[in-house]
Structure 1
Amino acid sequence: MSILVTGARGAVARKLASLLSARGIAHRLGSREPDTPGTVRCDLSDPATFPEALAGARSVFLYAEASGIGAFVKEAAAAGVEHVVLLSSSAVLAPAAADNPLAAAHRAVEETLLASPLRTTLLRPGSFATNALGWAGPLRAGAPVRLPYPGAHTDPVHEADLAEAAYAVLTDPARAGRAYTLTGPQSLTFADQLSLLGRALGRPVPYETVTAEQWRAEVAAFIPATYADALIEHWAAADGVPAALTDHVSQLTGRPARSFGTWAEDHADDFRNAEDPGPLARTGASGKGE
């Protein structure tokens, strides 16, 4: 078995590659900008990079990129690929998915793969817990996080759970060829998530409610307007409305999904500033393994 893992610089791909390496499963890493030895260039928007990346692969872990998916499917089939595991999005299940640019792009990739001769497994996560890293800048600076809908619910899922789910379907043919909706174990508002981050950091984590227009203006430099509008619309609909949860992570991994509190503890250093005391000082632990 040889597996191509695309998006090698992404959190899920890195975790997946670690699992494959630990179990001695042959795999190749592909990235738009290779930064480690042995990683092949695989820009999912550039078909010229596909032949080398796909050579010898029988399975692919694929990030969703609509612009080159037709060429990717054609090249993958020619290279002898048998199975593609797509990291898609549960946004494709929304009634108005076709009108949402984020959902529409993922759905286009899904539809192209499902119409191809490649066996396709769809992993549809809801909210990535790593989205919270967008708050790291203000939190490190001691500033409040500015939110248009602090009461909007999400279902944050840990990247380690996504990697373990991908590993399960890549290595067990009985699980392949299906669609899985992957969520965290809790429906949490943004305010809830910030509270859990504060607990992990050992200090209050403030937020400030802003208007949708203010938020759009603040992110205009790095989020295209159409995507910003889609996010605002989604958060408005989720304001005060708990997210639907599934047990698909536990079905695939054999254990409960990790909580956002666990994710916050795992990533606390990403949010700390120089004045944060760190876990040993906060708890009074000696650090001597007692």
Structure 2
Amino acid sequence: MNDTTEGTHMKILVTGATGVVGRHVVDRLVGAGVSVRALTRNPVAAGLPPQVEVVEGDLTAPQSVADALRGVERMYLFSVEQTAREIVTLAAQAGVRRVVVLSAASVTAGLHTNPVERAVEESGLEWTHVRPCGFMANMSQIWAPSIRAERVVRYPFADEPMNLIHEADIAAVAVAALLHDGHHGKAYTLTGPALVTVREQVRAIGQALGEQVRYEEVTRERARELMKAQGGFSAETADLMLGFVEYDGGAASGADGYADQDWSALMRVWPDVEQVTGRAPRDYAEWARDHLADFR
């Protein structure tokens, strides 16, 4: 297949187009002059660029996606595991030839397998897996209300390092795999340039704001109370992010269910962002500057 630096006539379907990463994928493809079709459950509220063809569909209801796949050559696939095989089958039947899957670094670490990855690999289509570590944006959704109201963050794990990545870097790798040859059969594990602690994240947000943001270390139990009271994303992810429940992604193969896990994979800096995009990944300070509006 020809490299798409010239082929702006193709149509690319972006699923999860209004999500944290999906919006960046859409913007980058539009900037590259590619015809973009964006799938969302609520087109009226999508708020995407005017040149994007926005269509309604839900990955958990595969038949609702069938029309969106017509005329599409390549697809960015948000990972919805329960319907993966049906979606990939429909894509192949519609003539899609290349799929880039948004997966997770926990697959690299052997903590679980991803049915979406497996379905795409077995489909005969060209495939690339994009496996980010934690999103820098996840913490903003948890901390933004208290930063806006009180200029304070209340959270545990003050000095435990986290491996986080800017969502724009995830999108940059995904778009490179969509547009250019040489990425078929590869799985990219994506991290920022360095591990960062909660205390360092709070300091970076304060520096971006030009104001002091206090950090108050609290117990996991207190943090869970605060996150549940907040509702939304914070309430939904509180138990998982604070370690009260294990990730339910299906164990890797092995006699004990986790024989192949490699926790060190989640605590090292991977070179994949720079190798694919030609630029170093953005650090947390840059992410904080990019998200000032979330905290003001």
Q: TM-score range by the shorter chain?
A: 0.7 to 0.9
Name which of 233, 236, 240 aligns with 2:243.
Answer: 233
1:10 and 2:34 aligned: no
Measured in 2, the distance between the counterparts of 1:24 and 1:225 equals: 39
Measured in 2, the distance between the counterparts of 1:234 and 1:118 equals: 39
Measured in 2, the distance between the counterparts of 1:226 and 1:157 equals: 21
Aligned partner of residue 58 in structure 2, secondary structure:
coil
Quick check: 2:239–2:245 contact (8 Å CA) kept in 1? no
Any residues of structure 2 matched to 1:78-117 within 5 Å, and which? 78-95=93-110, 97-98=111-112, 107-117=114-124
Counterpart amino acid of residue 115 in structure 1: E
Match of 1:261 in 2: 285
> Aligned-pair distance for 1:223?
6.0
Any residues of structure 2 matched to 1:1-290 within 5 Å, and which? 1-34=10-43, 35-36=46-47, 38-95=53-110, 97-98=111-112, 107-134=114-141, 135-220=143-228, 221-222=231-232, 228-233=238-243, 243-272=267-296
Counterpart amino acid of residue 148 in structure 2: R
> Aligned-pair distance for 1:152?
2.5
> Aligned-pair distance for 1:253?
0.8
Measured in 1, the distance between the counterparts of 2:244 and 2:122 equals: 29
> Aligned-pair distance for 1:252?
1.0
Quick check: 1:149–1:235 contact (8 Å CA) kept in 2? no
Quick check: 2:108–2:131 contact (8 Å CA) kept in 1? no
Aligned partner of residue 282 in structure 2, secondary structure:
coil
Measured in 2, the distance between the counterparts of 1:160 and 1:270 equals: 16
- Unmatched tracts of structure 1, length 5 or more: 99-103, 237-241, 273-290
Aligned partner of residue 76 in structure 2, secondary structure:
strand
Quick check: 1:5–1:28 contact (8 Å CA) kept in 2? yes
Quick check: 1:148–1:215 contact (8 Å CA) kept in 2? yes
Measured in 2, the distance between the counterparts of 1:155 and 1:235 equals: 20
Counterpart amino acid of residue 116 in structure 2: V
Quick check: 2:108–2:189 contact (8 Å CA) kept in 1? no
> Aligned-pair distance for 1:156?
2.1
How well do the aligned residues superpose, as a CA RMSD in angstroms? 2.4
Match of 1:285 in 2: none
Counterpart amino acid of residue 122 in structure 2: A
Measured in 2, the distance between the counterparts of 1:234 and 1:248 equals: 31
Quick check: 2:151–2:212 contact (8 Å CA) kept in 1? no
- Unmatched tracts of structure 2, length 5 or more: 1-9, 247-265
Higher share of residues assigned helix: 1
Aligned partner of residue 60 in structure 1, secondary structure:
strand
Identical columns (%): 37
Aligned partner of residue 128 in structure 2, secondary structure:
strand
TM-score normalised by the chain length of structure 2:
0.80
Measured in 2, the distance between the counterparts of 1:203 and 1:143 equals: 8
**What do the CA deviations read for 1:80-137 (whole angstroms, capped 9, x no partner)?**
1111101111022334x24xxxxx6xx2222222222222200001111111322111
Measured in 2, the distance between the counterparts of 1:182 and 1:83 equals: 20
Of residues 27-36 and 192-201 in structure 1, the stretch that sits farther from structure 2 once superposed is: 27-36
